[in-house]
Structure 1
Amino acid sequence: MEHTPAATTGQLHAVLVLAGSAGGIGAHVRSLAQGLSAHGLDVTVCGPAETDELYGFSATGARFHPVEITPTPGPRTDAAAVGELRRAFARATLVHAHGLRAALLSDLALRTARAGTPLVVTSHQANLATGVERRLLRLMERRVARAADLVLGVSSDLVARARTLGAADARLSPVAAPPLPLPLPEGRREAARAALLGPKDAPDRPIVLAVGRLVPQKNFHLLFDAASGWRGKDEPLVLVAGDGPERELLRARITSEKLPVRLLGQRSDIPDLLAAADVVVISSRWEARSLVAQEALRAGVPLVATAVGGLPELVGDAAVLVPPGDRSALSEAVSGLLADPVGRADLAAAGPPQASTWPDEAATVAQVLSVYDELTTQNGH
């Protein structure tokens, strides 16, 4: 849909830009678009056409302006994207870009179309690349940090990184916790477990659950390393829900090492999987505000996670944290919890109170509105 001018004279027109939906970015932008529109802002969302199909930005009260921002740079594709962004920014009061690629192209478009328009950038991801790619990404991050009027980091480590890279103003702005799931009917745990356990499994066989895209960041290899040590009559069944480029590599490990792991593929029944699980594990190299961590704590399922990124501030004392990359620590933490019903019950009870401290969608939108008001007032809009 093509951009059209703001309907009301003096109405703040915010343009939200995203390159894709990875890491929950799409869900966050949809939440902002809906909340900001409900507060009377004129909102346009710019991003690849498939993001509107996935998240329904057009149904939030915002306009959707398709801009094909590719995952990697390309002279022709980037020039076309910048041209489309210029059109979308023609009457913008403020631009809010989400992620590095969206921010880079938004800055280029603003320099030639709307110089002086405030640029807010939300940083959602750490730079986990290596070698030359890491150095190139760092250069891009530095440019974005210095170009933005304000960088919002979804976790404290991202805020600190933005300041190190030269951001004039960087602040914490956590992404809203997802809505509470409906309570599961009585007896759902037993039914969920029965659907997951095999015919040769004991009915009380422990279930360890991991959820996420099968990509290097999630470091499922660390979980597999830990699982190789869980042998004997109480060996847990490890279930991994998700799909991604490492699927065949992980499947090969399961077969060759005879690991007690099953890949479930992409699932839409995460509440049922949580109901069946005795422990949830996050083995990632980095996370900001992990969705599965939030879901586990809200559902009262014990969580073991690596102490990376924003996870420690997210879970507080309501989870067991282990050093990243430490196979022995992860293995011992999980096996220790499985052998300790009292410890599991304590963690289960601690989850919902910790979850109640997280900002909801209304609080997140209110913070963003306050930021917009501050920046547009400074710029005389």
Structure 2
Amino acid sequence: MSPSSKAPHGQSPLRTVQVLGGGNAGSSAHVRSLAEGLVARGVRVTVCAPSEADRAYDFTGAGAAHVHVPRSSDPASVAALRTVCTDADLVHAHGLHASFRAALALSGRPTPLVITWHNRAEAEGARAHLLRLLERRVVRASTVVLGTTSDLVDRARRTGARDARLAAVSLPRRSRPADGDDPDPLRPKTRAELGATGRPLLIAVGSLDRRRGYDVLLDAAARWRDLDPVPLVVIAGEGPLRPVLQRRIEEEELPVRLIGLREDATDLLAAADLALLPSRREARSVLAQEALHARVPLVATRVGGIPDLVGDAAELVPPDDPVALAAAVTRLLADPERREDLRDRGTRQAATWPTEDETVAQVLSIYDELTQPRPLA
């Protein structure tokens, strides 16, 4: 099937199943965008994901069928997935655990399995060993492994993948302001609601876990308390470290607010003076992409896929280095010309990223490569 056309006359449409686990924001948004693009090209798409994922990302609104499959890899969930995949020409799973369930469901069947790694799964101790075993099982069961960054592709190859490729993954389009426009007409109101009137606003978005490096961000925030006015750091997200972080904020009287999960995180970002990404590990960061698209200067750690993603359009600092992070933020806040330069660089860098059409075209070309001509309907 041509990437830009419907199924030829007399030929049945390609039938695909997209398997999503809990799904982080990046992989869920990618599946939604992919489903919409594939359906528009005449592909039949079924998304297997928890019901809450469909409510949040509206796969059915994109023209796909949705089947509730829990995150669990218990026999009932695998059996349900196996039933859905019975008539599929190809199965595409996103993330390690979804890929493991798909591999179990397709066991003994010749159906091609494509998997996409959006991030590297991390754990410590005995769980780390289990994750390595899962990775090995999954990549060896797959026909093609797609990695959103070159380091993920390299990891898949080292783990035993027969065919590992760099994925074109776009940030789903939103209505964005034209260059030179106010990025958010509600910006003053948003800043006032967050308590950032008359002071710099720094935004970070992501789960409150060790990978995100928010402990380092708090260390850095302690270093700019003497600035006048004092910048306010707002972190949108939830996670296991919230009690620890909140206790530190209160005990050390840090200029930081934890505001929990927010559906308007993109709007919050548009109101910010700087975006912060202090992660210890990161693949193709949604926050980094949103920041550059929104023309918000970004300070990020030099880890994983971040340098390739942002190029020279962000201030990059070493991970686990609060001194470097604090210094980069302080310099940027004092240098409006550098901030404007980063905005312009961000616009140019974002223009080099794959579009949604290019992402769908690449995926569909892989599907066509892996599927044989289908019988007449």
Unaligned runs of 5+ in 2: 1-9
Separation in 2 of the partners of 1:39 and 1:187? 36
Structure 1 residue aligned with 2:60: 58
Give runs of aligned pairs for residues 195-344 of structure 1, distance below 5 A.
Answer: 195-197=193-195, 203=198, 205-234=199-228, 235-344=230-339
1:354 counterpart = 2:356: no
Q: Could you tell me which residue of structure 2 aligns to residue 192 of structure 1?
A: 190
Give the aligned residue type for 1:36: L
For normalisation by structure 2, the TM-score amounts to 0.90
Q: Indicate the residue corresponding to 2:88 in structure 1.
A: 92
Q: How many Å apart are 1:195 and its aligned residue?
A: 3.3
Structure 1 residue ranges, 4+ long, deviating more than 4 angstroms after superposition: 184-188, 378-381
Q: 1: distance between equivalents of 2:139 and 2:124? A: 20
Relative distance call for 1:185 and 1:376 in structure 2 (3 A) is closer
For each residue in 1:235-255, what CA deviation from the matched residue of structure 2 results, as whole angstroms up to 9, or x when unmatched? 311111222332222111100
Counterpart residue number, 2:29:
27
- For 1:275 and 1:45, the matched residues in 2 are separated by 31
Q: Which runs of no fewer than 5 residues in structure 1 stay unpaired?
A: 1-7
What is aligned with 1:3? Answer: none
Indicate conservation of the 8 Å contact 1:156/1:172, yes or no. Answer: yes
The yes-or-no answer on 1:160 pairing with 2:162 is no
Tell me the distance in 2 between the aligned counterparts of 1:379 and 1:124.
30
**Residues 1:145 and 2:147 aligned together:** no
Deviation at 1:233, TM superposition (A): 4.0
Q: What is the CA-CA distance between 1:176 and the residue it aligns to?
A: 1.1
Cα deviation, 1:124-158, whole Å, max 9, x if unaligned, reads 12132111111110011011111111000011111
Distance 1:272 1:99, change over 3 A: closer
Counterpart AA for 1:66: H
Per-residue CA deviation, residues 319-358 of structure 1 (Å, 9 max, x unaligned), is 0111111121111111111122221121122111111111
CA distance in 1, matches of 2:161, 2:285: 25
Find the aligned partners of 1:19 and 1:275 in 2 and give their Cα distance.
Answer: 29
Indicate whether 1:368 and 2:368 are aligned: no
> Aligned Cα RMSD in Å?
2.1
d(CA) in 2 for partners of 1:34, 1:135: 37
TM-aligned CA distance change 1:94 to 1:87, over 3 Å = same
- 1:107 counterpart letter in structure 2: A
| Contact 2:115–2:142 (CA under 8 A) maintained in structure 1 | yes
Secondary structure in 2 aligned to 1:243?
coil
- DSSP 3-state at the match of 1:51: helix
Q: Percent identity?
A: 53
Secondary structure of the structure 2 residue equivalent to 1:228? helix
| Structure 1 CA distance for aligned equivalents of residues 95 and 266 of structure 2 | 29
C-alpha contact (below 8 Å) 2:12/2:374 kept by paired residues: no
Distance 1:279 1:53 in 2: 31
Q: Distance in 2 between matches of 1:37 and 1:374?
A: 18
The corresponding residue for 1:345 is 340
The question of whether the paired residues in 2 share the 8 Å contact of 1:98 and 1:121 is answered with yes
TM-score by length of 1: 0.89
Q: Distance in 2 between matches of 1:185 and 1:23?
A: 22
Shift of 1:379: 11
For residue 359 of structure 1, report the CA deviation from its aligned partner.
1.0
Q: How many correspondences in the alignment? A: 362
Alignment match, 1:108: 104
Specify the alignment match of 1:172 in structure 2. 166
Q: Which residue of structure 1 aligns with residue 76 of structure 2?
A: 80
Cα shift at 1:215: 2.1
Confirm or deny: 8 A CA contact 1:124 1:154 kept in the other structure: yes
Task: Tell me the residue number matched to 2:6.
Answer: none
Say whether the 8 Å CA contact 2:122–2:128 is kept in structure 1: yes
Report the secondary structure of 1:144's partner residue. helix
- The answer as to 2:138 corresponding to 1:136 is no
Matched-pair contact (CA < 8 Å) for 2:29–2:172: no
Q: How far is 1:294 from its partner?
A: 1.1
8 Å contact 2:168–2:362 — kept in the other structure? no
Per the TM alignment, residue 11 of structure 1 is displaced from its structure 2 partner at its CA by 2.2
Higher-RCO chain (CA-CA 8 Å, sequence separation at least 6): 2
Q: How far apart are the structure 1 equivalents of 2:101 and 2:36? A: 24
- 2:245 and 2:252 map into 1 onto residues whose CA distance is 11
Between 176-185 and 91-100, the greater mean CA deviation after superposition: 176-185
